Amino acid sequence: MKKNLAQGILFSGGLDTSVLAVVASKFVSLKAFTVALKGAPAPDVKYAILVAKRLKLKHLVHDLGEDELYDGIKKVVKTMKSFDPMEIRNSVVVYVGLKVAKENGVNTVMTGDGCDELFAGYSFLFNLEKEQLNLELRKMWKVMSFSSVPLAKAIGIEAKLPFLDPDFKAFAMKLDSRYKVWSEEGRTVGKWILRKAFENFLPQEVVWRVKTPIEHGSGTTVLPSMFSQKISDVEFKEKKTKYLDEDKVTIRDKEQLFYYEIYRSALGVPSPSNLEGKLCPQCNSNVAEKSTFCRTCGAYPI
């Protein structure tokens, strides 16, 4: 852990970042940063405040306003080379958190990335037979990547991912999956061993908190409805037809249209670098041969 210490942490108040905060706060005076979209339900704030007080962290809750949101979206689209709505909704929160950390004099920031993948935190894994669970975990380990690393690099700071420390990662991969998905008081949970290990160090509502995606915890889950109101049906229909005809790109909804126009302006029309490789049927970008998901546009399944 010591070699992965940082001055700050992107802090959702979920299990992953709370576990890191418990350990790291023993060694450094940790600054915690929580981002919430102004005016939107953002449950992360309540939990983050609870844990920050318990651990006596220096804690800043940053309200993300509309202008800053749009600026962040542009940076994320360009950096991640993506107009996948789910990627943008999650990563814009990460980007703003990193930017706020830098503005507060922090040059190294920890994130909880990798914990869900290593310890089976996703609910779609909970009802699988052990052999299938192990297979799905191994698949995830081969393709997992996290926006915090390139986004931090883009603004001149460093993201630290302690769960992906080579030694810890090797331990987690070898750990029997029955210690990852287990039933506790009639409820099946992922990351069971981490929850049990830290249940005496964190509030119970945090230890047993259900996995909450960044977009839900921060409030950016409202972005689809926000863009739906901002872009008229007529404009959407015209531009959807235009981009399909001219660019051979399928636009699925108004939110994606907004991101695609940023992408198109900054990076051009998506095109494959390898014409003989597997292509996304919705945007013509290259995808890994065995992949069922396009990182460029978010098409799934392909």
**Nearest-angstrom CA–CA distance, 302 and 294:** 8
pLDDT value for 1: 56
Residues of the chain where predicted confidence (pLDDT) is lower than 70: 1-2
pLDDT value for 289: 87
pLDDT value for 231: 98
Quick: pLDDT tens for 270-300.
999 888 899 999 999 999 888 889 999 999 9
Report the topology of domain 2-221.
Rossmann fold (3.40.50)
Quick: pLDDT tens for 20-58.
999 999 999 999 999 999 999 999 999 999 999 999 999
Whether 147 contacts 87, CB under 8 Å: yes
Residue-range domain boundaries for the chain: 2-221, 231-302
**Nearest-angstrom CA–CA distance, 136 and 120:** 9
Taking the whole predicted model, whether its pTM rises above 0.85 is answered as yes
